[in-house]
């Protein structure tokens, strides 16, 4: 789950440096970043489900992408974050599937 704080910090940085982002969305990002940071800093052993946090981030990213006044540089960052979230969700979905023994193959000797 180390990817999640990184993505949240990237989104928070984009929001902080982009004046075109509405205050309501900036507040959601700030609150989400503070909450997740507090959870990770608290030392709790049972952290929130990664898919839940990534889904929340995905919603924030969708709201940010809908803003047509965001600068191209910030939009590129947001698109990269969106891609990372999508890939993380896809990797999690793949990891949840059972292993198919017929798909296993022997690796070549090194």
Q: What was the pLDDT predicted at 48?
A: 66
Residue 108 within any structural domain of the chain: no
26: domain range? 3-95
Residue 102 within any structural domain of the chain: no
Looking at the structure of the chain, the number of domains it has is: 1
> Please, are residues 14 and 77 in contact by the beta-carbon 8 Å criterion?
yes
Q: What was the pLDDT predicted at 80?
A: 92
Residue 72 within any structural domain of the chain: yes
Q: What was the pLDDT predicted at 53?
A: 83
pTM of the complete model: 0.72
- Does the structure show a pLDDT above 90 at 39? no
- Does the structure show a pLDDT above 80 at 33? yes
**Which is more confident, 48 or 58?**
58
Residue 106 within any structural domain of the chain: no
Residue 105 within any structural domain of the chain: no
Residue 103 within any structural domain of the chain: no
Query: What number of other Cβ atoms are within 10 A of residue 93's Cβ?
Result: 10
**Where do runs of H (alpha helix) occur along 18-49?**
23-42
């Amino acid at each position: 789950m180390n990817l999640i704080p990184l993505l949240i910090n990237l989104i928070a940085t984009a929001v902080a440096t982009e004046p075109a982002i509405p205050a309501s969305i900036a507040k959601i990002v700030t609150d989400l970043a503070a909450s997740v940071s507090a959870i990770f800093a608290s030392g709790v052993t049972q952290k929130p489900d990664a898919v839940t946090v990534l889904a929340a981030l995905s919603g924030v990213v969708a709201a940010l992408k809908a803003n047509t006044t965001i600068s191209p540089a910030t939009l590129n960052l947001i698109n990269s974050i969106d891609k990372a979230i999508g890939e993380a969700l896809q990797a999690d979905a793949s990891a949840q599937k059972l292993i198919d023994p017929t798909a296993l193959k022997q690796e070549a000797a090194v």
